[in-house]
Chains A and B, each alone.
Chain A
Amino acid sequence: MSDENSQNNAADLDVRQSKPSIWRRLSFVWLVPILALIVSVTVAWQSFAGRGKEIEISFANASGIAAGETTIKYRDVDIGTVERVEFAPDLQEVLVYARIDQNVAPYLDDDTKFWVVRPQVGLRGVSGLDTVLSGVYIAGDWDQVAEVAQSRFVAVESAPLRMSDAPGTEITLRTNDGSALSAGAPVLHQGIEVGVLGQPILQQDGLTVLVDAFINSPYDRLVTSSTRFWDTAGFSVSLGTAGVSLNVGSLASLLEGGVAFDTVVSGGDPIGPNTKFDLFTDEETARSSLFNDAGRPKLNVAVLFDGSVSGLSVGSEVRFQGLRVGQVADLGAVVVDDPNQARVELRTVLAIEPGRLGLGEEATPEDALNLLADFVSQGMRARLVTGNILSGSLVVELVEVADAPPATLAVNATPYPVIPTTVSNITDVADQAQGVLNRINNLPIEEIMTSAIDLMDSANALVRSDGVMQTPEQVAGLLSDARGLIGSESIQAVPDQIAAVMEQAQKIMAQVTGVIDQIGTADLVGSVTRTVANVEEGTQNLGEITASAQALLDKVNALQVDALLAQATDALNAIEGVANNSDIAKVPVFLNQLLDEARTLIASGDVQALPSELRNVANSANQILTDLTAENVSGQLTNAIAAAASAAENLDAASQQLPAISEQLNTLSANAAQMDLESLAKSAENTLNSIDALVGTPSAQALPASLSSALDEVQLFLNDIREGGAVENVNAALLSANNAAQAIEEAANSLPELSRQTGELVTSTGQVLSTYGDRSRFNAETLSTLRDIQEAADAVSSLARAIQRNPSSLITGR
């Protein structure tokens, strides 16, 4: 054990000797973990310290943003990475936490904007193409001045209009129609893109659209307070009160839209940032508004029209006493709460420009509202009137209605004050055409027809009236008076005078006899013979004449004897009516005067001179005979005698046909006997009575004047005879008489055929007469015809009266 102990002691000794102190025994290898620890801590510290500042960006949605992957860039340089994406406590938004480079972090102050860059393919090119592969990234923009650094940001919807380093001016455009505006659309000046549009934003009033625009430097100096902006989007065809206008912009603006501006008048003031401008619908409007207070606030008032506002559109004019004072800003239907039942009213919002109401440059909408309230209390009302007849577009007119029921401007109405309305004055072409048709529809056609019938009745009555019947009666009276005239002493005295003339003629004949004796059997007989030969030749023409007569009889046969008889009956009735007319009685007075005139005429020297004229004629004849004597009259006479003999033979042959004629005449007589002679007799009797009455009336005196003038004419005619070659005319007349005698002689040759034709005619006439004997049907038809005529006349009379009372009714209706 001791050995063992000594060994142990020795070993312990060695060990103890080898580790004199803890520092001597401490190995250098301990430097390794210390170094590793230092390195690790250093690395960890560097990693922690260099990881950047954490910021929080709130997004509406985090589409495409991935924690650990999405980078944050400033001017396309990575400055950080999204670390995590969380929801806000109320889930309203997405909170994106990101580490930002420490070098950049101090610059993230109030003006910092973050937005998500996504690939966009538009008409103006492709942007963010790199994000297609790499995913979206968050871009940021801030100025180069480090102010109070922020750590919480709210992202914007899209890239801001202007970058912090882009020089230029930002303005705001105000319009009512943002349909043609899109973010990124160009702002053009003289066709050159000088700016860009932002996102159109609809304001809370629901009417106005505001869109920011950024004008690049140095073009922003072109924009002054006199600058007007207008929409160049697409092309517009407007059919306004000024006619049709077509506006086409560039192709890019056609597709994408855009606005243009121009400053026509100088003197505008420089603008500050975020100046508001009105955006006009087209260049024309913009230029025409240069002298307007477009930038001034407008007064919005509402009008509730009862009827349809078809034809009214946003932008339609608002006229006050014919002057444009504003335009229609909105059209819409609103449900009006009515205690009984809900109603829908059409609310038209008018944007009134106070400056145009005559209130001056500095007028405010409140001033305009007060003025309008005054006007309304004085009777001003709003109404719709036609702006363009062709297009049917309407405008709102503020007019003063003289007898308007009292009303006030509803100042406190929401959302806008309400102007009371009055009846609209719309002249629509279609409506007018409709109105015309309606008027035609409303025309009293039935009553006009009734009136026409009345007129016809009246005409019938007129025809039957005494006045009209006077004329035939007068004629009848005239005939009667003529008869009396013929029976008058003066006329009776004429034959006596003629007898005297005949005595003169007898003496002439005696002289002629003497002449004949003187000429003896000179060539007279030869003349007679030639004459007879002529007669014979004429006889040979009788055949043709007979054929003609036959054709004539055929035609007579074919005649509408029925109608003829009807007309005859009508005529008789008419004559009867005329004869019954009391005015006819006036005729005899005139006839008496006429007869006096005639008597005076006969007693005049001219008539008395007639016998002497005849004597001269006889002398002339005598001289002619004397001349004849000198010629070969005898031979001619002989021939004449022979011809006479031949004619006698023809007459003999003709006389053989007489029995047949007699038979046909008998038949005719029989037929005539069957006729309703009684009615005829009555008519004749009535006629005679009427004539008697006529003769007895003094009104017949109307005729003699006419007859007197007629006799004057006769007298003039006789004078003409006296003055002209009357003798030659008489000679010609004698020659014609001779020809006539020859024609009669020739006609006698055709008597048999004529007799046959006459027989047929008589037969036809008999048949017609027998038909006429059926008086009931004939009379009934006649009477009904007359009644119809009378009704028609009454109708026409009524129509005439109606038209006379109110001529315009034919056009305007009742």
Chain B
Amino acid sequence: MESTGHGLQRLITAREAGLIACTRCGQVHAGGAVRCKRCHGPLESRDLQSMQKVWAWLIAGIIAFIPANIYPMLITNTLVDHSESTIIGGAVELVSHHNYGIAAIVFVASIMIPVGKFIAIAYLAISVHRQQILKMHQRHKLYDVVEFIGRWSMIDVFVVAILSALVQLNAVATINPGVAAMSFALSVVFTMLSALAFDPRLIWDADRTA
């Protein structure tokens, strides 16, 4: 096999060997098997609808992310004040109060990471179809990072949920989640689903076809 520039010897994939591996239990079956003998899960050599799911969930996540930034995240009612703060507005307000650290955390966790996830997933999905700069291994690592970080993207939602549950002092002070909280949570969920829907084996195929 020609070198792909990695200096590694080219390996044949299970698909090339006419085998199908169960993605859940790892049982390898013959090419024609439809269902796993061990765990009775469905067997697919390649998820042919993977890319559709990725893109669909990604678009849904992006759509949900828009109101998450436009609408208020927190609705704070105190005796004398009624404030609605969006994500960006909260970060800017923290900066104006010179709390740069917290502002950076909020900004990174609520803006940079979701947006980064969008970009990473979109990149991975695109990279399946055409020759990419990043090596196959790096793209796998990127996929692992995206999948790992997805569960931590709900920090904002957790904060809002905790505050809303704790600060319910009737007239004195009340914090309620805004529309953005739900939107943000949906956005995170959609993004995670998008990452999960991505079949990393397509990365191999893309490299091989290239």
> Which A residues form the contact surface with B (CB < 8 A)?
7, 10-11, 14-15, 18-19, 25-27, 29-33, 35-37, 40, 43-44, 69, 133-134
Contact = CB atoms under 8 A, between A and B. Distances in A.
Interface stretch (B2-10, B60-68, B125-133): B60-68
B49 A27 contact: yes
Chain B CB within 10 Å, residue with most, of A7, A29, A36? A36
A32 B190 contact: yes
B197 interface: yes
A29 B57 contact: yes
20 contacts: A10-B18, A11-B16, A15-B46, A15-B48, A25-B52, A26-B52, A27-B49, A27-B56, A32-B57, A32-B60, A32-B190, A33-B190, A35-B60, A36-B59, A36-B60, A36-B63, A36-B186, A37-B59, A43-B67, A43-B179
B10 to A, nearest CB: 12
Nearest to A4: B16
A30 B66 contact: no
Interface string B24-64: 00000000000000000000011011001100110110011
A591 to B, nearest CB: 136
Contacts of A134: 80
B48 A133 contact: no
A27 B63 contact: no
Contacts of B59: 33, 36-37
Interface of B: 15-16, 18, 45-46, 48-49, 52-53, 56-57, 59-60, 63-64, 66-67, 79-80, 82, 179, 186, 190, 193, 197
B16 A7 contact: yes
Given A36-B60, A44-B67, A29 B52 contact: yes
B63 A40 contact: yes
Contacts of B67: 40, 43-44
Contacts of B179: 43
A40 B64 contact: yes
A32 B196 CA distance: 15
A83 to B, nearest CB: 14
Contact of B66 (A25, A31, A32, A40): A40
Contacts of A31: 56
Nearest to A71: B82
Given A40-B63, A43-B67, A33 B57 contact: yes
Contact of B56 (A18, A29, A43, A133): A29
Chain B CB within 10 Å, residue with most, of A11, A18, A25, A33? A33
A235 to B, nearest CB: 44
A32 B57 CA distance: 7
Contacts of B79: 133
Contact of B48 (A11, A19, A33): A19
A266 to B, nearest CB: 58
A29 B63 contact: no
Nearest to B45: A14
A4 B46 CA distance: 20
A33 B49 CA distance: 15
B43 to A, nearest CB: 13
B48 A18 contact: yes
Nearest to B186: A36
Contacts of A69: 82
Interface on chain B toward A: helix, strand, loop, or mixed SS?
A: helix
A630 B86 CA distance: 177
A284 B79 CA distance: 54
Contacts of B53: 27, 29
B171 to A, nearest CB: 11
A24 to B, nearest CB: 10
Nearest to B183: A40
B52 A27 contact: yes
A43 B197 CA distance: 28
A69 B59 CA distance: 35
B76 to A, nearest CB: 13
A25 B18 CA distance: 23
Nearest to B187: A36
Contacts of B57: 29, 32-33
A11 B56 CA distance: 27
B200 to A, nearest CB: 18
Given A11-B15, A44-B67, A133-B79, A32 B56 contact: yes
A629 to B, nearest CB: 158
B61 to A, nearest CB: 8
Nearest to B47: A27
Contacts of B56: 27, 29-33
A31 B64 CA distance: 14
A103 to B, nearest CB: 22
Contacts of B60: 32-33, 35-37
Nearest to B46: A15
Contacts of A26: 52
Contact of B190 (A18, A36, A44): A36
Contacts of A133: 79-80
Contacts of A25: 48-49, 52
Chain A CB within 10 Å, residue with most, of B49, B53, B79, B186? B49
A65 to B, nearest CB: 16
Contacts of B52: 25-27, 29-30
Nearest to B179: A43
Contacts of A33: 56-57, 59-60, 63, 190
Which 4 A-B pairs have CB atoms at the shortest separation, nearest pair first? A33-B60, A33-B59, A27-B52, A36-B60
Contacts of B15: 11
Contacts of B48: 15, 18-19, 25
B201 to A, nearest CB: 13
Contacts of B190: 32-33, 36
Contacts of A14: 45
Contacts of B197: 29
Contacts of B80: 133-134
Contacts of B18: 7, 10
A436 B18 CA distance: 145
A26 B52 CA distance: 7
A11 B79 CA distance: 70
A36 B68 CA distance: 12
A29 B59 CA distance: 11
Given A19-B48, A33-B59, A69-B82, 18 more contacts: A7-B16, A10-B18, A11-B16, A27-B52, A27-B56, A29-B49, A29-B53, A30-B56, A32-B56, A32-B60, A32-B193, A33-B63, A36-B59, A36-B64, A40-B64, A43-B179, A44-B67, A134-B80
A31 B57 CA distance: 9
Nearest to B81: A69
Nearest to A32: B60
A25 B79 CA distance: 57
A18 B57 CA distance: 23
A436 B80 CA distance: 77
B41 to A, nearest CB: 18
A4 to B, nearest CB: 9
A69 B15 CA distance: 64
B85 to A, nearest CB: 12
A75 B102 CA distance: 44
A20 to B, nearest CB: 11
B22 to A, nearest CB: 18
Nearest to B62: A33
A488 B59 CA distance: 184
Nearest to A68: B84
A35 B56 CA distance: 11
A26 B56 CA distance: 11
A134 B63 CA distance: 37
Contacts of A36: 59-60, 63-64, 186, 190
A35 to B, nearest CB: 8
